[in-house]
Structure 1
Amino acid sequence: MNIPEENRSPAKLQRPLEGVTVIDLGQIYNGPYATFLMAMAGARVIKIEPPGGEKMRRRGAVGGAMLPFAMLNSNKEFVTLNLKSAEGIDLFKQMAAKADIVLENFAPGTMDRLGIGYDVLSQINPGLIYAAGTGYGSFGPNRDMLAMDLTIQAMSGVMASTGFQDRPPVKAGPALCDFFGGIHLYGAVMTALVRRVRTGQGGLVEVSMLESVYPSLSSTLGLYYGTGGENPPRTGNRHGGMAEAPYNVYPCKDGWVALLCVSEKHWEALLEAMGRRDLLTAERFIDLEARVNHIDELDALIEGWTEGFTKDDLVAELLRRRIPHAPVREIDEVVNDVHMHARGTLQRIEHPELGSVVLPTGPMMFADTDRTELQPSKAVGADNSHVFGDWLGLSPDEVAALAQRKAI
């Protein structure tokens, strides 16, 4: 870990989740991100896939489209298990009996239909924490609606609040709902672990993607309530609640810079930089409310100023004056971000299937612990012999026979 030495104590501690074993049935983004965070915090994560591999592996046929699988499945062990066979179910129960956590993000009811839902597994292992990531939760009128990031963006209001007022709704580019759900699922499991330490009792936790993303609408909801319940317009790059100005993305000679003022100090510094201190006393910009009410004129003034700069020069000027800002960067700039590479949260590695790629190590840092070295994702079933043999205690012949009978 790249936390500076002066911020560390001399003693090395265990990583927070050392000794915790996680059975990972996650698929696509939601579940796998939660278990990736656990792996990078020191947990042993055993990823179970059907014999043909997890759904996201099929994207490997489309150029670099398998990169998301590699990003979310570093530092895991990989086994195959046929949960549609009696032998596969029996093996899974043996694994759950030795595990601390079982995590899945199947459609609600799937694990119960297989005979390995929480009610069954908790009888086998009362200390087990069973975590379920869902779109809408395990109960409620929308329980059985199919949930993907796109559909949750549509249902949650994310899509209605993204884009520009004179154009159709548009999804946010990143898979926000999947990852919001995964982050909250991680948090729910950690909370349950604290309770187990205190009581010895496991339990069932669930996280809904829809409910995970709702708090992020806070600015838009502020506008909704502030107008007496009118549906807010899409505000483009302006503040979602239309409660801040300036707050936008402004043009430069060679790109764009995001700029906002969240205090009068920032506003005064911006006018100083623009050479327009005369506007400090102008009635139309005299306070935040006035600036919001004259936002089109305000944005036009700022655009006229920013257009005279290159992106780098504008960033330097705004940084010097401590005005909140950031350049709008392309993906190649982000992948090669000097700051994140210096912190070690992005690393370039040689992946056995993808070659040289940049992968995340996760945003969480734990001072005074040994750094978790990034281990790339592996082939389908790469750890079958190790997990079923060394961990569950099956002989090589028994493992081979299971494979022959297509149980693994």
Structure 2
Amino acid sequence: MPSVPAAPLSGITVIDLSHVYNGPYATFLMAMAGATVIKVEPHGGEHLRSRGDMGGAALPFAMLNSNKRCVTLNLKAERGKALLREMVARADVLVENFAPGVMDRLGLGAADLRTLNPRLIYGSSSGYGKSGPYRDYPAMDLVMQAMCGVISVTGQPDQPPVKAGPALCDFSAGVHLYGAVMTALFQRERTGEGCVVEVTMQDSVYASLASNLGMLHARGGAVPPRTGNRHGGLGISPYNAYATRDGHVVINAPGDAHFRAILDVIGRADLKDDPRFNTRAARVAHMQEVDALLEAWTSLHTKQDVADRLLAVSVPCAPVRELSEVVRDRNMHERGSLQWVDHPGLGRVVLPHSPMVFEGSPRVPLQPSVALGADNEAVFGTWLGRSDAELEELSRAGVI
């Protein structure tokens, strides 16, 4: 029988000092690619775990911390710092998303730790970076959406701006941080040396505004600040959310062939040669008429019926689904991207696996997040060699 290939990051050890979303998502991706990820938390737990008493944070913590070993460590105590240094000496990667300067003030900055282990990849993420005039500004996703321009382009043109629903700045930074660490590991294979990588939330978001920036370039001061559900560059029509009998459906017809197919489906083939609609430029110039034409038809049908009919002729379209529908998505469950898990603290819940699939390597089994400090004995005892008596003494001293 052929052997089962090892997961891509098998044998890589990651020390995870990060909290909330962006760093933990990067290390979650590493864990689901097979790395051994040791999550180091203060005695009260990282910020997201400690938000669990507010009712909404327990599941996000579980989503981002599957397949991680969890230990507690007081990094303000000298003996706590010493234990971290021992861990770093044996590790491949360290990830943190503290404010710039925090790790240096603890004596645990990149330069100090890479002196102990020159092969270490030190990955950090912050709102604005460790250099530049915004270095010391506090950063959370809402603040970053405002600073990055996301809020200014989100919402209806005649209404106040609104934030994007998902925490896109945090997760965009997390994906980029994962990519940066993987790139550094590849470089280490060539050179034998580790390095420091940095990702900021601000830098990670800019490229996602491409359509809006394109319109700014093309139209200058005439650019509208918000386009609602229409194309960010107002360059495609139809491109909108349309009312149905039971909700809404989105339709995007970037090419003339798409729109001709729509006209066939809605029974208006007579409009194929109408000069208002026969080219993309014409449809953009008559956006309101295009939208009115489509909504007169979509409003007579259910959102799924509209989607089924248009998808059958290869028109990009989807029902606007509620989250309760999304967590049961049959495509993601069949592919293993979403999985039902019996979580020890939350009961039966849906948790995500990694979006990255490595052909020939089976998915790493999803292991639910564990309680605060659950792996203290395994990491500090078995891995670092501390005896039971030493562990008890470290606990009494407030180190672990």
TM tier, smaller: over 0.9
Runs of 4+ with >4 A deviation: none
| 43-52 vs 267-276, which moves further | 267-276
Within 5 Å, which residues of 2 pair with 1:190-201?
A: 190-201=182-193
Structure 1: gaps spanning 5 or more residues: 1-8
Tell me by how many angstroms 1:290 deviates: 1.4
Alpha carbons of 1:230 and 1:110: their partners in 2 closer, same or farther (altered >3 Å)? farther
Tell me by how many angstroms 1:216 deviates: 0.2
| Residue 197 of structure 2: aligned partner | 205
Rounded to whole Å, the distance in 2 between the matches of 1:57 and 1:277 is 57
Which one of the candidate residues 100, 105, 110 is aligned to 2:92?
A: 100
| Residue 68 of structure 1: aligned partner | 60
- In the alignment of these two chains, the number of paired residues is 400
Tell me by how many angstroms 1:65 deviates: 2.9
**Equivalent pair of 1:50/1:80 in contact (CA under 8 Å):** yes
Q: Which amino acid in structure 1 is aligned with residue 239 of structure 2?
A: Y
Query: When the two structures are superposed, what TM-score results if normalisation uses the length of structure 2?
Result: 0.98
1:367 pairs with 2:377: no
Rounded to whole Å, the distance in 1 between the matches of 2:325 and 2:336 is 16
| Residue 279 of structure 1: aligned partner | 271
Residue deviations 1:323-343, cap 9 Å, x none?
A: 110000001000111111111
Which one of the candidate residues 30, 45, 48 is aligned to 2:40?
A: 48
Rounded to whole Å, the distance in 2 between the matches of 1:314 and 1:242 is 23
Query: When the two structures are superposed, what TM-score results if normalisation uses the length of structure 1?
Result: 0.96
Which one of the candidate residues 288, 295, 298 is aligned to 2:287?
A: 295
Tell me by how many angstroms 1:280 deviates: 2.0
Residue deviations 1:300-352, cap 9 Å, x none?
A: 11110111112222122112111110000001000111111111111111111
| Residue 156 of structure 2: aligned partner | 164
Tell me by how many angstroms 1:205 deviates: 0.1
Structure 2: gaps spanning 5 or more residues: none
Q: Which amino acid in structure 1 is aligned with residue 168 of structure 2?
A: L
| Residue 308 of structure 2: aligned partner | 316
Rounded to whole Å, the distance in 2 between the matches of 1:87 and 1:178 is 32
Identity rate of aligned residues, in percent? 57
1:335 pairs with 2:347: no
Rounded to whole Å, the distance in 2 between the matches of 1:370 and 1:266 is 38
Rounded to whole Å, the distance in 2 between the matches of 1:392 and 1:71 is 28
| Residue 257 of structure 2: aligned partner | 265
Within 5 Å, which residues of 2 pair with 1:127-138?
A: 127-138=119-130
Which one of the candidate residues 13, 18, 24 is aligned to 1:32?
A: 24
| Residue 237 of structure 1: aligned partner | 229
Rounded to whole Å, the distance in 1 between the matches of 2:111 and 2:87 is 16
1:388 pairs with 2:377: no
1:83 pairs with 2:98: no
Which one of the candidate residues 10, 16, 22 is aligned to 2:8?
A: 16
Tell me by how many angstroms 1:12 deviates: 2.7
Tell me by how many angstroms 1:111 deviates: 0.3
Tell me by how many angstroms 1:358 deviates: 0.4
Residue deviations 1:45-101, cap 9 Å, x none?
A: 000000111111122212343110000000000000001111111111111111000
| Residue 117 of structure 1: aligned partner | 109
Tell me by how many angstroms 1:281 deviates: 1.8
Residue deviations 1:358-384, cap 9 Å, x none?
A: 000111111112321111111110000
Q: Which amino acid in structure 1 is aligned with residue 297 of structure 2?
A: W
Which one of the candidate residues 348, 354, 371 is aligned to 1:356?
A: 348
